[in-house]
Amino acid sequence: MALPHQHLTPQEVAFICESELITIVPRQRLGSLNLISIDTRPLVPPQRADVPLWLAVFLRKQKRCNVVPPDWLTVDNLERLVKEESDSPAFSKMPWRWMEVAEILLDTCAEDLISPSEIALHIRSLRELRQAKIRASLPGEINSSYINMNNLGLMEVCEVRPWVGKVVDGLRKIEGEAGSAAVRKRRKEGDDDDEDEDMEEDY
Amino acid sequence: MDAMDISDILREFDAENAPSNSKDYEDLLKWWVNERAAPEILQYQDDLVERIMNRVRRQIEHIEDQTGNLDPRANFQLIIIQTELERVKFLIRSYLRTRIAKIDKHALHILSTPTLRHLLSPSEQTYLKTHQALLNELYLSSFLKNFPENLRRLDDSAGGISMVEEPDLDSAVFLRVVRDVDIEIAWEGGETVPMRAGDVYVIRYSAVKEAVKKGEVELI
- pLDDT of residue A137 exceeding 70, the answer is yes
Other beta carbons within 10 angstroms of residue A191's beta carbon come to 8
Chain B nearest-CA distance from A182, in A, is 10
Mean pLDDT of A116-143: 90
Average predicted confidence (pLDDT) for chain B: 86
pLDDT 10s digits, B41-69? 999 999 999 999 999 999 999 999 888 87
Task: Identify the band that residue A189 occupies on the pLDDT scale cut at 50, 70 and 90.
Answer: low
Q: How far, in Å, are A27, B1, B49, B81, B110 from residue A45 at the CA level? A: 5, 14, 36, 21, 55
The CATH number fitting domain A8-68, selected from 2.40.50.140, 3.10.20.740, 3.40.5.50, 3.40.50.1700: 3.40.5.50
CB spacing of A149 vs B202 below 8 angstroms: yes
Task: Give the nearest partner residue to B85 out of A36, A151, A157, using CB atoms.
Answer: A36
Taking CA–CA distances from B26, the nearest residue in chain A reads A37
Q: What percent of chain B has pLDDT over 70?
A: 90
Q: Does the global pTM surpass 0.80?
A: yes
CB spacing of B189 vs A184 below 8 angstroms: yes
CB spacing of B94 vs A1 below 8 angstroms: yes
- pLDDT of residue A50 exceeding 90, the answer is yes
Tell whether B51 lies on the interface with A, counting CB pairs under 8 A: no
Number of A/B CB contacts below 8 angstroms equals 144
Q: Measure the CA–CA gap between A87 and A13, rounded to whole angstroms.
A: 29
Q: Measure the CA–CA gap between A20 and A97, rounded to whole angstroms.
A: 9
Taking CA–CA distances from B27, the nearest residue in chain A reads A37
The predicted structure's pLDDT at residue A180: 53
CB spacing of A146 vs B189 below 8 angstroms: no
Task: Give the nearest partner residue to B81 out of A35, A150, A184, using CB atoms.
Answer: A35
Task: Give the nearest partner residue to B101 out of A5, A33, A172, using CB atoms.
Answer: A5
- pLDDT of residue A155 exceeding 70, the answer is yes
- Backbone conformation region of residue B149, classed left if phi is above 0, alpha if psi is from -120 to 50, else beta: alpha
pLDDT 10s digits, B85-122? 999 999 999 999 999 999 999 999 999 899 999 999 99
What is the dihedral angle through the alpha carbons of A120, A123, A128, A130, rounded to the nearest 10 degrees? 180
The predicted structure's pLDDT at residue B131: 94
Residue B173 near residue B205 (C-beta atoms within 8 A): yes
- pLDDT of residue A195 exceeding 60, the answer is no
Tell whether B105 lies on the interface with A, counting CB pairs under 8 A: yes
Chain A nearest-CA distance from B155, in A, is 23
The predicted structure's pLDDT at residue A177: 55
- pLDDT of residue A49 exceeding 80, the answer is yes
CB spacing of A1 vs B193 below 8 angstroms: no
Complete domains list, chain B, with CATH: 168-220 (3.40.5.60)
Mean pLDDT of A153-164: 89
Average predicted confidence (pLDDT) for chain A: 84
Mean pLDDT of A164-175: 87
Residue B116 near residue B110 (C-beta atoms within 8 A): yes
Comparing CA positions, the residue from A144, A97, A195, A187 lying closest to residue B176 is A97
pLDDT 10s digits, A57-86? 999 999 999 999 999 999 999 999 999 998
Residue B220 near residue B199 (C-beta atoms within 8 A): no
**How high is the ipTM of this complex?**
0.81
CB spacing of B200 vs A7 below 8 angstroms: no
The predicted structure's pLDDT at residue B19: 44
A95-111 residues labelled b (16+ CB within 10 A) or e (exposed): bbbbbbbbbbbbebbee
